[in-house]
Amino acid sequence: MTSVDRNKIAVLLKEEAGKTVMAKGWVRTKRGNKNVAFIALNDGSTINNIQIVCDMKKFSDEEMKPITTGACICVTGQLVESQGSGQRVEIQAEEIQVYGTADPETYPLQKKGHSMEFLREIAHLRPRTNTFGAVLRIRHSMAYAIHKFFNDKGFYYLHTPLITASDAEGAGAMFQVTTLDISNPPRKEDGKVDYAQDFFGRQTNLTVSGQLEGELGALALGEIYTFGPTFRAENSNTPRHLAEFWMIEPEMAFYEIKENMDLAEEFIKYLVKYALDNCMDDLKFLNDMFDKELIARLQSVISTDFVRLTYTEGIDILEKSGRKFEFPVYWGVDLQSEHERYLVEQHFKKPVILTDYPKDIKAFYMKQNDDGKTVRAMDVLFPKIGEIIGGSQREENLEKLQNRIAELGMGTESLWWYIETRKFGTAPHSGFGLGFERLLLFVTGMANIRDVIPFPRTPKTAEF
């Protein structure tokens, strides 16, 4: 046995020829003739395969037979300059060990292109495709860049709970968390379920947002962000909604809406630039395979100022557009994706930040404007996606907050701790939520949100 350390293919492809190397990975393809076989090997470290050249004088048919698409192998050999085009170096195989075979009759990822729908049915194997390898590497890079962005700015990463007792936001239907026997729950005299006997002694749910706890952090640490999973039991089967998705929620003391918008714009541009600077191999692949305008679109976003206008101005543009929308437009309507996309893609042709929405379509905690009708909300709208960020300046005035809560008929028992922040040392503050998968839709050019998360959770699907 040759003794040499295994190197990742990403590293080997950059090395100089003329040494013994070892690579381990999964066979993408094998082709050749009686004299020579070529194996394209991938180990996930890069979209690029390394070519393994097998001189058939050195290997028997018996040895080569189990090396088929999908098999996992360990190759030792000489790194040599490649004779063929398409790669600088390749491995002249000396030894091949097969770790695991993949029967060509049953292994589903044969060479031919597969539909995205089919790949969702084999989510356990789809990370081995070029497309998902690219998407998952970009997903990782974006997660890293998010932490780097905030860390470099002095924000603290705050961990907010996933199990909550407050449906504070009303942001979406919630998943209940319980240890009660749901086929026979304990009941109170009035017949209602007795949650006092449940694990937490009350009814609890999976969080729809970490914001309310995020505010507690901001009003102590100054600037914080959360980055974690959120859950919404909304039965919306759209290409932009998941039941389990990741959200980034910065929350900042002493920021007003303007600074909040500035941060959101700087943040997205930073992330897009990070992808262009660090993920170009994967982006080029996605650009060539799926979306010929992807890279141009990413470049254009980092060099344009986002348009800023009020909801009222936005409605005006939509009304004057002469467009027939599926959902009619009028002041007070909650904008649909088709409206958002019209503003971004047709009218302005760049990202848009809409502010000052009607208070009735926004959450209770948003800062009330003096007009009595609107709140200091801001949504960032993106091409192909619609809403990518939702945020606001928060209502810091105790009385106004309490009045709004009462107006909406919300119970305050589960929110007493939130309200106390306005009683003790309240401060102007703002924040927003960026849907991680919506960002990834934009950065990867994928068309469906199910294809930018490894194991999507959507209505009626929770396999894998």
Contacts with ligand ATP by CB under 6 A lie at 171-172, 232, 234, 241-242, 245, 247, 387-390, 433-435, 437-438
Residue with structure tokens 């060479």?
A: 111
What minimum distance in Å lies between the beta carbon of 259 and ligand ATP? 19
- The amino acid that residue 355 corresponds to is T
What minimum distance in Å lies between the beta carbon of 209 and ligand ATP? 6
Cα–Cα distance, 292 to 283 (Å, whole number): 10
Distances (CA, A) of 362 to 78, 131, 332, 392, 446: 64, 37, 11, 10, 29
What minimum distance in Å lies between the beta carbon of 323 and ligand ATP? 20
Helix (H) or strand (E) holding 340: helix 337-341
For strands 176-177 and 386-393, give the pairing: unpaired
Distances (CA, A) of 329 to 334, 356, 369, 384: 9, 17, 23, 20
* CA proximity to 457, closest of 284, 236, 272, 250: 236
Q: Which is nearer to ligand ATP, 137 or 232 (CB)?
A: 232
Q: Which is nearer to ligand ATP, 26 or 442 (CB)?
A: 442
Q: Which is nearer to ligand ATP, 234 or 256 (CB)?
A: 234
Q: Which is nearer to ligand ATP, 37 or 434 (CB)?
A: 434
Cα–Cα distance, 422 to 424 (Å, whole number): 6
**Residue 333: what are its φ and ψ, rounded to 5°?**
-75, 145
Q: Which is nearer to ligand ATP, 70 or 456 (CB)?
A: 456
The one-character DSSP state at 189 is T
Q: Which is nearer to ligand ATP, 91 or 248 (CB)?
A: 248
Q: Which is nearer to ligand ATP, 245 or 274 (CB)?
A: 245
Q: Which is nearer to ligand ATP, 195 or 442 (CB)?
A: 442
What minimum distance in Å lies between the beta carbon of 249 and ligand ATP? 8
Q: Which is nearer to ligand ATP, 314 or 433 (CB)?
A: 433
What minimum distance in Å lies between the beta carbon of 304 and ligand ATP? 20
What minimum distance in Å lies between the beta carbon of 452 and ligand ATP? 10
The one-character DSSP state at 430 is E
What minimum distance in Å lies between the beta carbon of 435 and ligand ATP? 2
For strands 50-55 and 36-42, give the pairing: antiparallel
What minimum distance in Å lies between the beta carbon of 251 and ligand ATP? 13
Cα–Cα distance, 240 to 236 (Å, whole number): 9
Cα–Cα distance, 12 to 10 (Å, whole number): 6
What minimum distance in Å lies between the beta carbon of 236 and ligand ATP? 7
The one-character DSSP state at 193 is B
Question: What's the token pair of residue 355?
Answer: 């502010």
What minimum distance in Å lies between the beta carbon of 426 and ligand ATP? 23
DSSP letter for each residue of 208-223: S-SHHHHHHHHHHHSE
Q: Which is nearer to ligand ATP, 280 or 408 (CB)?
A: 408
State the helix-helix crossing angle for 398-407 and 416-423, rounded to 10 degrees. 150
**Beta carbons of 210 and 229 less than 8 angstroms apart:** no
